[in-house]
A = this chain, B = another copy of it.
């Protein structure tokens, strides 16, 4: 039996599954303090004597450098109670079994790669557009990590000529991708939620203008085989049409990509992408 944890800013999901990554049991609870949260996590996994490994996809930034003293920590997160939390260390102290560790979005990319919308590829990117924008990647079948891990949401983008009055809401960069294209940017700009604006084509054209820029730059950097776009904002599926048009215009056919209907796709696993990736991380930790 394999275990998986997906920690998000608002909730934490724990699950156990089998070797084929089928989810057998799944619970979730709100993200509160570390002490309270670990109690929930331990209560869940303590039930399973047969647990062989656990894979963890965590909100970031986290330390993924195995040679670092703070490997396995959640580091400089804006969620203050969680700053400098030795997440992996606390898990290891409770369960002496192999564990995998990466970001929530890298885990989601891995889930979509293994069993979801990027199945059959060798490399993919997963982007979530919601209250923030996050992104992870799989390269050559593995979650992409280097000195740290991808933080695609904060890429710098050009402002649209008709959007120059908007300052963006990112406290670090103002008008980075997240600052101009995450859910709160849409709400601040128009005073309405995305759902209320569903019929307003110009809203989604602007959204697509920004997402397309990031995707052009990701294409020119990673050249993935597929890009999976999920999260609350992307539930407005009409964005995909505008996105493909804007991407084509901005890349201007400079490099070849897969056909856009195969290249830019919604997730297949939806809310289970991260936890499925977590189970795969566990499986790989066990094998290595």
| Chain A interfacial positions (CB closer than 8 Å to B) | 61, 75-76, 122-123, 137, 139-140, 142, 144-152, 154-159, 172-173, 213, 216-218, 220-225, 250, 252-258
Contact = CB atoms under 8 A, between A and B. Distances in A.
Given A76-B256, A148-B255, 16 more contacts: A123-B147, A139-B139, A139-B144, A140-B140, A146-B224, A147-B257, A148-B223, A151-B254, A152-B221, A155-B216, A156-B158, A158-B158, A173-B250, A218-B221, A221-B221, A222-B222
A154 B223 CA distance: 13
A150 B256 contact: no
Contacts of A123: 146-147
A225 B221 CA distance: 15
A146 B139 contact: yes
A5 to B, nearest CB: 22
A148 B256 contact: yes
Contacts of A154: 220, 254-255
Main secondary structure of the interface of A (DSSP, over half): loop
A219 B155 CA distance: 9
Contacts of A76: 256
Contacts of A255: 61, 148, 151, 154
Given A157-B158, A255-B61, A222 B150 contact: yes
18 contacts: A75-B256, A76-B256, A122-B146, A123-B146, A139-B146, A144-B223, A147-B223, A148-B223, A148-B255, A148-B256, A148-B257, A154-B220, A155-B220, A156-B158, A156-B216, A157-B158, A217-B217, A217-B221
Counting from the closest, the 4 A-B pairs by CB-CB distance are A146-B223, A123-B146, A148-B223, A172-B254
Contacts of A158: 156-159
A173 B249 CA distance: 10
Contacts of A139: 139-140, 144, 146
A213 B147 contact: no
Contacts of A151: 220, 223, 254-255
Contacts of A147: 123, 223-225, 256-258
Given A140-B140, A157-B158, A158-B159, A220 B150 contact: yes
A280 to B, nearest CB: 17
Nearest to A61: B255
Contact of A223 (B149, B220, B252): B149
A148 B146 CA distance: 20
Nearest to A250: B156
A154 B152 CA distance: 18
Nearest to A263: B147
